[in-house]
Amino acid sequence: MNSLPLFSEIDPDANFAHRHGAWISRGQFHAAVLTLAAALPERARVLNMCHDRYWFAVSLFAAIARGSLTVLPNSAAPEHLAAVAAEQTDLLVLGDQDAPPVAHLPYFRVDTVAAPPAPAGTPIPMIPFDQRVACVYTSGTTGTPTPHYKTFGRLRLAVLAGAERLWHAAGAPCSVVGTSPIRHMYGLEASVLLPLFAGGRLSAQIPFFPLDIAASLAEVPAPRLLAITPFHLRKLLEADIALPPVAAILSATAPLSRELAREAEHRLGCPVIEIYGSTETGQLAMRAPCRDDVWQCLGATTLETHEGETWAHGPAYPTPQMLNDMIALLSPTTFRLLDRKANMVNVAGKRSSLSFLNATLAALPGVEDAVFCVPPGGTDTDVGRLAAFVVAPTLDRKTILTGLRAHLDPVFLPRPIVFVPALPRDGNGKILARTLSALIDQHLGGRKRP
């Protein structure tokens, strides 16, 4: 099986990471990775909980060098971490914080390693193409965290294919400022691996408020790529603050409306590129939403429709991957997105299924019947909170929310909860779409949405 060098061949003196006002060169990054790799205990699996994007990258690559799988939980919720730890046994937690980030698991602090630096001339490790390097989690349509394993060679292929488009749109390799969580596929690919594999510059900051985004952009040299979500992009534009020149905006996790894309292009004077992907597939296709609604597959990925489902094939996937959306294929490498599957909802970039949400709500003690719905007024590009109709004469709103919180990501908590005396179900026990529409009109029709 073929192997690839751990690090891309890039001038070791080139600036790589910007952290707390100082630059870390490629060579210094490589030395930090090899030093940590030598200091890490032998483990099959590590849990990377670093806050800082630079130390996250050092830990990820040190684990790869040691042949350890890096497990990336999709939230820090104790329930999720416990479920992950139960499945991925013998975990060592890597972090850059004083206090151990996960109770009951051994902790190794990565940013204060007291070890001799790796000697100059230490050979660059060769990594098998098929080495599993990362495990990312989806909440899954059943609500049970589902692991997805990523191999070194395939991750690298997908990121380099994306970089070709992005650097072309921006004019050159960029300093990347990203607002998304680094343990999610989008944040991992766009803000960590893209600068790392493809000759960009990494920012250690994960900015949140609009002013933070402006400050993080200002710290790094042009050209700059801003990797953001539609929701965050909208809030950034609404804040109406001065931003340094940006060479390209990258958006993913939820559909970006053409109106928002155009406003962003107009206000920031740069192209907007959108990614189509998922935790399962990683980044799969891109488009420039201001110009074209057609998606173009990345690299050598091709699509094929089989019995009503669309499957992605190519060197970036060990086996064909089924897509979660309804797609109109124009050619094996171009497509239009028709709709997400009827049962699927996306809130703030997180995906779940209505059937799972309904079952979870209905299973709470004291809930006699319940149904989630998508309230009117929201477009599918804004954060549309879900609402729920609940039959639960003995419960109040707070009890229901507390009950749900133990099972659901908080973005899916219903807002509002409408208590009703009964839910009209037909002879098959189903709530008809028109019945639900009538309930929505009656109870939620005049409601302003955030």
Partner 1 sequence: MQIMELHSTAQTTPDLALEKEMAALIVTALNLDIAPEAIVPEEPLYGDKLGIDSIDILEIALVVSKQYGVQMKADSEDNAHIFGSLRALTAYVGERRVK
Q: Contact residues for partner 1 (CB under 8 A)?
A: 207-212, 215, 231-232, 235, 238-239, 241, 348, 383, 385, 397, 401-402, 405, 410-411, 413, 415-417, 447-450
User: Read out DSSP for 308-323?
Assistant: TEEEEESTT-SS-EE-
Output the smallest distance, CB 149 to partner 1, in A: 28
Residue 83 CB, nearest approach to partner 1 (Å): 20
* Shortest distance (Å) from residue 400 CB to partner 1: 11
Residue that the structure tokens 């669309």 belong to: 310
CA quadruple 252, 283, 138, 136: dihedral sign = negative
Helix 230-239 to helix 210-219 angle (10° resolution) is 90
Return the number of the residue (294 or 418) whose C-beta is nearest partner 1.
418
Nearer to partner 1, 427 or 450 (CB): 450
C-beta closer to partner 1: residue 75 or 321? 75
Calculate helix-pair angle for 397-405, 354-362, nearest 10 degrees: 120
Q: What is the token pair recorded at 422?
A: 């009964």
- Tell me how far, at minimum, the Cβ of 409 lies from partner 1, in Å: 9
For residues 190 and 413, which CB has a smaller minimum distance to partner 1 in the complex?
A: 413
Cα angle value 260/186/14 (rounded, 5°): 105
Compute, in degrees rounded to 10, the torsion defined by CA atoms 431, 435, 440, 441: 180
What is the closest distance, in whole angstroms, from the C-beta atom of residue 373 to partner 1 in the complex? 15
**CB-nearer residue toward partner 1: 48 or 205:** 205
H/E segment holding residue 437: helix 433-444
Shortest distance, position 6 Cβ to partner 1, whole Å: 33
Minimum distance, C-beta of residue 216 to partner 1, in the bound complex (Å): 10
**Quick count: other Cβ atoms within 10 Å of Cβ 317?**
19
How many Cβ atoms sit within 10 Å of the Cβ of residue 168? Answer: 12
User: Which CB atom, from 58 or from 400, has the smaller least distance to partner 1?
Assistant: 400
Closest CB to partner 1 among residues 21, 421: 21
Output the smallest distance, CB 206 to partner 1, in A. Answer: 9
SS3 labels along 99-158: CCCCCCCCEEECCCCCCCCCCCCCCCCEEECCCEEEEEEECCCCCCCEEEEEEHHHHHHH
Other CB atoms within 10 Å distance of the CB of residue 429: 6
Cis peptide before 223 (omega within 30 of 0): yes
Task: For helices 258-268 and 230-239, give the axis angle rounded to 10 degrees.
Answer: 50
Rank residues 285 and 347 by Cβ distance to partner 1 and give the closer one.
347
CB closer to partner 1 out of 59 and 180: 180
What gap in Å lies between CA 224 and CA 190, rounded to an integer?
13
Minimum Å distance from CB 228 to partner 1? 12
